[in-house]
């Protein structure tokens, strides 16, 4: 017996002697993938590869890059967390998504975060990109939405409600009055939570605001809302001009004042007419999907994320303007078949949660005029440098013009008017949601995606586990990469 044990020990010893160096070598030489995507070797520009990998369906590679960048904990950490959050949602990793969104949420809503970087970025030679990323109002809105809905899934209703209300507040940080607080989804989620907590009066109030927001951002009203906003801006300008003229009132200005008053009267009539048309449209818009959505008896929320979010890029002579565009995505509507039996039709879904509309109606920023000023300065100094250079070639015995030309040229080159185009690019283009009542247990869902003509373009089956006690939330992303 003891001989057998000795033999066994010897074999184990021999094997371990052979195997140890192999494992040790592996430990010392990590996989090339780990080296490539280690935070030390990753640069911000590598995030573009991750973005393209995500939209090409290579989630693993995208995750490695964004995780590596997030580990660096630099001024873009909120951006990396938002991108990672969207990636995790697509993969169905709700806990990881919540952690990533929460980390971004804290920074995006902290006024004091990266304050020193913000002050530095205003300088003539500093780039706006050096600021800490905190996102545009629409990005804050959707970050708050995701944090809220994931907390709701965790049954943390109070914090979820706080997140939705924060989103509503962020949505008020836009220039145009009519575009303020028009994300119906946030009001509807807040209504749902108030109903679950038996706060009927609060719920009624929030639902009223949700309906108003839904009407304002409805595609049928967008043109009219834009027209009305333009008229309101003109009216504001004219009223200020009138007030200014009236304070300096004299005989010469009387004619100008009369003209201004007539123009204001016409603008007010046009605003009323646009308002009436909006009211007329509102009467035709069906809000049944809103009522179904807030029904507290429905224990399951299904959130469809379609397409690719808005793309922000620089234009202008010096890239001083940042503009948005959107990639067309084929998915227009959905239907769901539950357990091969019950079919939920497309009209039941809560639609028009359009991310591009929210991004493109934010209005101007204070920083935009600073960048415009920087671009003008860059252009002027360049022009002066060119004139001095030409003059130096005609007559410049002491080289003064040449020196001045060089100096102004250097100032022009050092001026940095480039707009900051950082944005949460893994956001979807649109969200379509539905609330359902499903019996506890496992269910098979077949989700069909249709294009605008009603043709099925994608169909996928998922298995979901519905629990009785919690608020079930299911995410499904259709990235819209055609093939």
Partner 1 sequence: MKKLLFVIFLTFSLSGCVSVNPYVLSKGQTSLDLTNNRGVALFTMKVDNSGGTRLSLLSFMAREVNQYKPYNTLGVFTLPLLPENYSTTDNLYFCSVVLGSGIYRLDAFNGMVNLFFGIPHSLKTDKIFDIYPNKINYLGRLDFGNFNAQLPFTSLIKIEDNSEQEILKFKEIFPVLRDKQISKDSFY
CB atoms within 10 A of CB 267: 19
Least distance from partner 1 to the Cβ atom of residue 314, Å:
5
Backbone angle region of 319, left / alpha / beta, with phi > 0 → left and psi within -120 to 50 → alpha: left
298, 314, 346, 448: residue in contact with partner 1 (rule CB under 8 A): 314
418 sits near partner 1 (criterion: CB under 8 A): yes
266, 327, 365, 372: residue in contact with partner 1 (rule CB under 8 A): 327
Which residues does 225 contact at the CB level (< 8 Å), separation at least 6?
178, 179, 216, 217, 278
44 sits near partner 1 (criterion: CB under 8 A): yes
71 sits near partner 1 (criterion: CB under 8 A): no
162, 311, 344, 391: residue in contact with partner 1 (rule CB under 8 A): 311
425 sits near partner 1 (criterion: CB under 8 A): yes
457 sits near partner 1 (criterion: CB under 8 A): no
Taking the least distance from each CB to partner 1, the nearer of 83 and 471 is 83
Taking the least distance from each CB to partner 1, the nearer of 164 and 356 is 356
32 sits near partner 1 (criterion: CB under 8 A): no
368 sits near partner 1 (criterion: CB under 8 A): no
Specify the stretch interacting with partner 1 by CB under 8 A; choose among 96-104, 111-119, 188-196, 415-423: 415-423
Taking the least distance from each CB to partner 1, the nearer of 140 and 422 is 422
CA 247 from chain centre, in angstroms, equals: 45
In terms of Cβ atoms closer than 10 Å to its own Cβ (0-12, 13-18, 19+), residue 457 is middle
52 sits near partner 1 (criterion: CB under 8 A): yes
412 sits near partner 1 (criterion: CB under 8 A): no
Least distance from partner 1 to the Cβ atom of residue 113, Å:
20
119 sits near partner 1 (criterion: CB under 8 A): no
84, 419, 427, 431: residue in contact with partner 1 (rule CB under 8 A): 419
Q: What is the 3-state secondary structure (H, E, C) of the chain?
A: CHHHHHHHHHHHHHHHHHHHHHHHHHHHCCCHHHHHCCCCCCCHHHHHHHHHHHHHCCHHHHHHHHHHHHHCCCCCHHHHHHHHHHHHHHHCCHHHHHHHHHHHHHHHCCCCCCHHHHHHHCCCCCCHHHCCCCCCHHHHHHHHHHHHHHHHHCCCHHHHHHHHHHHHHHHCCCCCHHHCCCCHHHHHHHHHHHHHCCCHHHHHHHHHHHHHHHHHCCHHHHHHHHHHHHHHHHHHHHHHHHHHHHHCCCHHHHHHHHHHHHHHHHHHHHHHHHHHHHHHHHHHCCCHHHHHHCCCCCCEEEEEEECCCCEEEEECCCCCEEEEECCCCCCCEEEEEECCCEEECHHHCEEEEEHHHHHHCCCCCHHHHHHHHHHHHHHHHHHHHHHHHHHHHHCCCCCHHHHHHHHHHHHHHHCCCCCCCCCCCCCCCEEEEEEECCCCEEEEEEEEEECCCCCEEEEEEEEEEECCCCCEEEEEEECCCCC
- For residue 347, give the nearest of 338, 331, 363, 335 by alpha carbon: 335
Specify the stretch interacting with partner 1 by CB under 8 A; choose among 102-110, 382-390, 396-404, 416-424: 416-424
Specify the stretch interacting with partner 1 by CB under 8 A; choose among 43-51, 91-99, 107-115, 182-190: 43-51
126 sits near partner 1 (criterion: CB under 8 A): no
Taking the least distance from each CB to partner 1, the nearer of 61 and 270 is 61
Least distance from partner 1 to the Cβ atom of residue 223, Å:
21
Least distance from partner 1 to the Cβ atom of residue 221, Å:
25
Least distance from partner 1 to the Cβ atom of residue 475, Å:
24
Least distance from partner 1 to the Cβ atom of residue 342, Å:
34
Least distance from partner 1 to the Cβ atom of residue 368, Å:
15
Least distance from partner 1 to the Cβ atom of residue 58, Å:
7
393 sits near partner 1 (criterion: CB under 8 A): no
281 sits near partner 1 (criterion: CB under 8 A): no
Judged by CB under 8 A, how many residues of this single chain contact partner 1?
Answer: 32
319 sits near partner 1 (criterion: CB under 8 A): yes
48, 262, 269, 403: residue in contact with partner 1 (rule CB under 8 A): 48
Least distance from partner 1 to the Cβ atom of residue 129, Å:
6
Taking the least distance from each CB to partner 1, the nearer of 264 and 481 is 481
Q: Are strands 472-478 and 333-338 parallel, antiparallel or unpaired?
A: unpaired
Taking the least distance from each CB to partner 1, the nearer of 89 and 326 is 326
Rule CB under 8 A: which residues touch partner 1? 44-49, 52-53, 55-56, 58, 127, 129, 311-314, 318-319, 325-328, 418-419, 421-423, 425, 481-483
């Amino acid at each position: 017996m003891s001989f057998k044990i000795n033999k066994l020990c010897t074999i184990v010893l021999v094997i371990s002697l052979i195997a140890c160096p192999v494992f040790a070598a592996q430990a010392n030489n990590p996989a090339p993938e780990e080296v490539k995507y280690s935070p030390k070797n990753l640069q911000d520009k590598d995030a573009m590869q991750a973005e393209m990998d995500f939209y090409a369906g290579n989630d693993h590679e995208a995750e490695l890059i964004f995780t590596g960048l997030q580990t660096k904990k630099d001024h873009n950490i909120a951006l990396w967390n938002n991108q990672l959050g969207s990636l995790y949602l697509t993969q169905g990793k709700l806990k990881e998504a919540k952690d990533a969104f929460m980390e971004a949420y804290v920074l995006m809503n902290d006024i004091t975060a990266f304050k020193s970087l913000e002050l530095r970025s205003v300088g003539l030679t500093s780039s706006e990109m050096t600021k800490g990323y905190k996102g545009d109002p629409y990005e804050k809105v959707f970050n708050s939405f995701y944090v809220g809905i994931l907390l709701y899934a965790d049954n943390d209703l109070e914090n979820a409600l706080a997140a939705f209300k924060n989103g509503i507040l962020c949505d008020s940080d836009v220039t145009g009055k009519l575009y303020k607080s028009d994300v119906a989804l946030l009001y509807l989620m807040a209504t749902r939570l108030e109903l679950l907590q038996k706060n009927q009066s609060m719920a009624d109030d929030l639902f009223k605001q949700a309906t108003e927001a839904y009407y304002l951002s409805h595609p049928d009203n967008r043109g009219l809302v834009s027209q009305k906003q333009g008229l309101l801006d003109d009216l504001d300008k004219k009223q200020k001009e009138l007030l200014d003229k009236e304070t300096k009132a004299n005989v010469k200005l009387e004619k100008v004042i009369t003209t201004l008053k007539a123009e204001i009267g016409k603008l007010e009539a046009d605003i009323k007419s646009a308002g009436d048309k909006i009211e007329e449209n509102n009467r035709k818009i069906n809000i049944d999907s809103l009522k179904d959505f807030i029904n507290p008896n429905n224990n399951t929320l299904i959130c469809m994320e379609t397409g690719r979010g808005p793309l922000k890029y620089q234009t202008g002579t010096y890239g001083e303007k940042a503009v948005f565009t959107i990639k067309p995505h084929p998915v227009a509507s959905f239907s769901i078949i539950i357990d091969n039996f019950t079919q939920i039709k497309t009209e039941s879904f809560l639609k028009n949660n359009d991310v591009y509309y929210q991004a493109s109606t934010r209005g101007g920023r204070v920083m935009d005029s600073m960048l415009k000023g920087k671009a003008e300065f860059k252009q002027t100094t360049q022009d002066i440098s060119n004139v001095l250079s030409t003059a130096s070639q005609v007559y410049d015995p002491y080289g003064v013009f040449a020196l001045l030309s060089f100096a102004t040229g250097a100032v022009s080159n050092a001026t940095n008017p480039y707009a900051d185009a950082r944005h949460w690019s893994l956001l979807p283009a649109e969200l379509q949601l539905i609330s359902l009542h499903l019996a506890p247990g496992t269910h098979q869902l077949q989700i069909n995606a249709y294009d605008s003509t009603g043709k099925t373009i994608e169909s996928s089956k998922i298995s979901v586990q519905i629990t009785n006690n919690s608020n079930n939330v299911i995410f499904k992303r259709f990235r819209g990469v055609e093939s």
